[in-house]
Amino acid sequence: MDQAHTKHIVLGITGGIAAYKAAELARLLIKQGFTVQVAMTEAATHFITPATMQALTGHPVLTNQWQDDKGMAHIQSSRVANAIVIAPATADFIAKLANGLADDLLSTLCLARNCPLLVAPAMNQQMWANAATQRNVQQLIADGVTLLGPVSGVQACGEEGMGRMLEAGQLAQDIAAAFQPKILTGRKVLITAGPTYEAIDAVRGITNRSSGKMGYAIAQAARELGAKVTLVSGPTALAHPHGAQVVDVTSAAEMFEAVKQRVSDADIFIAVAAVADYRVAQASEQKIKKCDAKLTLELIPNPDILAYVAALPDAPFCVGFAAESENLREYAEQKRRTKKLPLLAANLAQHAIGADDNELILFDDTGEHRLPRTDKLTLARALLLHAAMLYRKGKSK
C-alpha cells in the first residue's frame, strides 16, 4: 500500500492468554502495509506488555482514556481508524460490546467508532458454549460486527474444544480480506496450482520446481473478493487456503480429470499450475535398477488442460499463465491467441519459480498491462481485479 492508501487499524487486546498472539498479528499487519495502533485493557497488560506492542508498531500503546490532554483518546483513535480489531476478545469483553458498556478506553473506543469492528473470540470451551456468551455473540452479529473464529483446538487450560483464537496468520489474512471489494460474490472460480508429478517408476518421476505459491495466492485473493473457490492442486508444501475447496492431485492426468469433473460449474477458470508437458509412456511399477546400460524413456504428451477448457462450447472465462525463459512477450501473446484466451499472465520462470515475489505482464485484447514486482498475494489481487473487470465486460455484451 502506498501512503495515500494506507489503512489504519486499531488493534484492541483484552485479558486472555491468547494475547501473546497479538504481537505476531501486529507484525503481520504491518508487513501487509497497515499502520497499527494498539489499545489494551488493564487485564491485557498482565499477559503482554505495552512496551512489546509499542516496539512492534512504533506507536505508544493506549491503555486509558486520560493519556491525552483532553481525555478524548477514544474519539481521536476511532476517527482515524479504518477498522477496529479485537484480538483476543474475551467473554467479558464480548458481553460489554453486546450490551453497549463503556467503562474503559477500549470499550469506549468501540462504542464511539464509525468504522467496521472485527472480533476474534478466545476463551475456554465451556465459556464459549455458555448460553449467555452465545446470546452476546448473536447480538454482535445482528449489530454488524464481523466474527473471526473461534476454532476448535487444545486450550491453555488443557481442555480441548471450540473457543481457541485463530492463529495470527489466518487473522491477518481475514483482516486484509475485509478491505477487498466483494466483486466476485456469487461467482465460482476454478483454479489449478502447483506442479504435476509424472512417475517413471516406483520412486522416480518427472516434475518441475513450481512451489504453487502463485496459484494459492490467487485462490486466497478470489476468496477475498467473495468468490466460491475450488483449487485443484498438484503436490506442494503449502497449507490449504482458508475457505477454499481443495482437490489434491499428483499427475497431469489426475489434474485433467479433476478439472473436467468441475469445470461445468465454474464461471472463471484460472490455469496457474505448471503441468508437465510429457509423461512416461509405460511407467514401471517397481524401481528400475541402475546398470551400466543407457536408460531410454519414451515420453508422450500430456493433455493440454487450458486448451481443453477454453475450447468448450460454454467455456468459463479463462485466464492462462505463461512461464517463459526468453522472448516473454512474443511467446505469451502467441499462446494467448492460439488458445483464444481473453487474459493471459506471463512471467520469466527464472525470476518467479519458488520466489515469494514476482512481476507479471497481463495480455488481453487491449494490449499489455504490467504489474510491477511485489509479493505474490498483492499480485494476485491485482490480477483478479483485472480479470473481474474483463469478465463483467464480457457478461454485459
Active site residues: 157
What residues pair up with 344 in beta bridges, in sequence order? 320, 363
**Cβ(198)–Cβ(279) below 8 Å:** yes
**Cβ(146)–Cβ(118) below 8 Å:** yes
d(CA 61, CA 22): 13
> Can you list the alpha helix ranges (DSSP code H) found in 191-347?
213-224, 252-262, 305-310, 328-338
Residue in 48, 6, 60 with CA at minimum distance from that of residue 23: 48
Q: Using CA atoms in the order 355, 357, 361, 364, what is the torsion angle rounded to 10 degrees? A: 100
C-alpha grid cell, residue 17: 492468554
Q: How far is CA 321 from CA 56, 238, 240, 243, in A?
A: 38, 20, 21, 24
d(CA 378, CA 396): 27
Phi and psi, residue 221, nearest 5°:
-65, -40
d(CA 111, CA 75): 10
Residue in 109, 111, 173, 121 with CA at minimum distance from that of residue 146: 121
Length of the chain: 397
Residue in 397, 374, 369, 367 with CA at minimum distance from that of residue 385: 369
**Cβ(87)–Cβ(123) below 8 Å:** no
Q: How far is CA 58 from CA 18, 38, 173, 188, in A?
A: 22, 10, 22, 41
> Can you list the alpha helix ranges (DSSP code H) found in 87-197?
91-99, 105-111, 125-129, 131-142, 168-178
